[in-house]
Chain A
Amino acid sequence: MILDPIVPRILSVRRIPGADPALLRAYGADPERHRALGLITCDQDDPTYVALDEATKHAAVDVVFARSFYAGSGHASGRLSGEILGVLAGADADEVDEGLAALVRCLEHDACFYKADDKGTITVFPHVIASLGRYLSAQAGLVAGQPMAYLVAPPMEATVGLDAALKAADVRAVKVFPPPTETNFAAAWLSGELAACQAAAEAFAAAVIEVGRVPRER
C-alpha cells in the first residue's frame, strides 16, 4: 500500500574498543579525544544519516565518517555492505555503545523510506527532524536543536516534489542535492518552524506519489 513504511535492514553493527591511531585518523577521528569506534552498515542511507545524527543527541560521540555507496544497496559489494557505512567515535567503548543503541533505535522505530506507489517501485523519504543533533546541524549550517525537513526521492519525483514543498510553507532550502547522488536519488534539506517543515514534507510526499500516478502529462 502507498506510504507503507519500508523498515531499514541493519546489516552489521560492530565496535572497535581501542582503535589503531592510523585507522582513527584515516576515518576522520581525532586520536587525542577518540579511542573507540562504532560502525554500522544499513540498506538505507538517508535514514542512517538521520540515525547517526540522533546518536549525537544521546551520547558523547561524534559522527566522524558517513558515506553512501555507489548505485545503492541493489548493487552492494557484499551481503553486509548495504548502501552506507557510518562511523561513530567516542572516548571509550561505553559511550560508543550508548550511541549505537540510539542509532539502532532510530532506524528501527523512526527514520525510514516509504512506498510511494502500491508496489514500492518508487520510494520516498519525507522525514522531519524535530530537533537537530550536532552532526547534521553542522553539515547544514544550522544550530543544533532546530527543526529540519530531510526530503529524498528519485530524480523526477524529487524535483517536482521539492518545488511543491518550497511553495507549501514558509521554509528555506538550506541545501539541495540534485541528481545523481551516490545512490542516484535527489534530496533537499529545508529549514523553518516545525509546523512549516511538516507541511513541506507532506507536500513533498504527496507530490512524489502524484508523479508516480501520472508520470506523463503529455
Chain B
Amino acid sequence: MSFTRTMVQDLRVRLAGADPLPPPPPVPEIPLPPARVFPSPKRRSPFAAAAARHTTALVGIGHVGTRYATDVVLQFQAELAVAHGAVHTELPEDWAEKNGLLPLQSRVREHREFLLRPDLGRRLDEPSVARLRERGRKGVDIQPILADGLSAVACMGAGRELLDSFVKSCEARGFSVGTPVCARFARVWLEDEIGEVVGAKVAAILLGERPGLGTGDGLSAYLVYDPKVGRTDGNRNMMSNIHARGVPPEQAGKRLAALAGAMLTQRTSGVPLDLAPLRGELGDAVGGGYRAPDPRVRLVSVGEPK
C-alpha cells in the first residue's frame, strides 16, 4: 500500500463521522391495506363455491401480491400440523394390553428407525414371535391385526371400533377368528409373518394410513390369503379411507368381512380374486386403491365454539 493511499484511507475513516447520511426519502402516502381475501364460507367467490361441488382442492382462494392471505396460511398450517402430529405420535407400549389385545412389536426399536427401515417393520421381533406362539389361537380362518402403521392417532382413534366391527362380522358369518393382536411399529407386510405363525387362512391388518393434509385419522385395511413371509402387494386386497368422513368403521368392518369371505371361498387373494360377485356388498371402496374425496373442513376459528 502506498503512503498516500494509506493516508487517504485513514482520512476517510476520520471524515466519515462528519459525513451525514443523505436525507431520508419523503414518506409516501400509505394506501389502504388490502381487504381480507380468504373466502370465508359466508362470502366465498362464485368460482370457489362452484368448484367446491367438484373438488376438495383449495381453489378460488385469492392472493395478496403473489402470496396467500393470512387465513389461508393458518388453514394450511393447521392441516399440515394435523398430518405431522399423526405421523409423529407413537402408540404407547401399554396401549394394546389396556385394550385387551395381545401386544406385538416389529423388529423396529424406535420411531425414526420405523420411518427409515421398512424392512424391519415387516418382521416380528423374537419376544413377539414367542408370545404369539404361546398365546395366539392357531389354525383359524381369520387373524385380525390392529396396528399403528403411519398414524398411531388413527389406530387409537377409530381402530378399536373397526377391529370390533370386523371381528363381530366375521363371527356372524361363522368364521373362526384368531386372538386379536395389536402390533407396534408395523408395516403392512407384517401380517404375513403373524398369519404364518398362527397358521391362519386369511390375515387382515388394519392400520393407520399415511396422513394427507388435515387428515391424520384415516385407516386402511390389507387382507391376504394364505399369509407367508414373501408375499407381495399383488397378493393383497386393500380398503382405504376408513374414518368418520370416509367409509365409517362400522360399515368398513362389515365390508372387510365380506372380502375375507370371498378369499376363503375362492382360496386366493389379490389380483386373481374375483370381486365381481361382491360389488353390491363391498361398495366402491375396495379394489381401486385411491382415496375418495375427503371434504375440506375449516380447521381454524378464533375464539371458542358457541
Contact = CB atoms under 8 A, between A and B. Distances in A.
A–B touching in complex (CB under 8 Å): yes
B15 interface: yes
B11 A202 contact: yes
Contact of B2 (A2, A111, A202): A111
B12 A126 contact: no
Interface in A184-205: 198, 201-202, 205
B301 to A, nearest CB: 55
A155 interface: no
B4 interface: yes
B7 interface: yes
Most buried by A among B1, B4, B7, B15: B4
A116 to B, nearest CB: 11
B3 interface: yes
A201 B15 contact: no
Nearest to A118: B22
Contacts of A111: 2, 4
Contacts of B19: 2
Nearest to A125: B4
B8 A3 contact: yes
B67 interface: no
A92 interface: no
B7 A202 contact: yes
A202 to B, nearest CB: 5
B8 A130 contact: no
Given A2-B15, A209-B15, A110 B2 contact: yes
B11 A206 contact: yes
A109 interface: yes
23 contacts: A2-B12, A3-B8, A3-B9, A3-B11, A3-B15, A109-B1, A109-B5, A110-B2, A110-B4, A110-B5, A111-B2, A111-B4, A112-B5, A114-B8, A126-B4, A126-B7, A127-B4, A128-B7, A201-B4, A201-B7, A206-B11, A206-B15, A209-B15
Interface in A201-215: 201-202, 205-206, 209
B109 to A, nearest CB: 62
Interface of A: 1-3, 5, 109-112, 114, 126-128, 130, 198, 201-202, 205-206, 209
A123 to B, nearest CB: 12
B8 A126 contact: yes
Give the 9 A-B residue pairs with the shortest CB-CB distance, closest first.
A110-B2, A3-B12, A127-B4, A202-B11, A128-B4, A130-B3, A3-B8, A128-B3, A114-B8
Interface of B: 1-5, 7-9, 11-12, 15, 19
Q: Is chain B's interface secondary structure helix, strand, loop, or mixed overall?
A: helix
Contacts of A128: 3-4, 7
Contacts of A5: 5, 8
A112 B9 CA distance: 13
B114 to A, nearest CB: 59
A205 B11 CA distance: 9
Contacts of B11: 3, 202, 205-206
A126 B15 CA distance: 15
A205 B7 CA distance: 11
Nearest to A147: B3
A200 to B, nearest CB: 11
A14 to B, nearest CB: 26
Nearest to B12: A3
Contact of A205 (B2, B5, B8): B8
Contacts of B2: 109-111
B20 to A, nearest CB: 9
Contacts of B1: 109
A198 B7 contact: yes
B25 to A, nearest CB: 16
B5 to A, nearest CB: 7
B2 to A, nearest CB: 3
Contacts of B7: 126, 128, 198, 201-202
A111 B11 CA distance: 16
A3 B16 CA distance: 10
Contacts of A110: 2-5
Contacts of B12: 1-3
A205 B5 CA distance: 12
A114 B9 CA distance: 10
B18 to A, nearest CB: 9
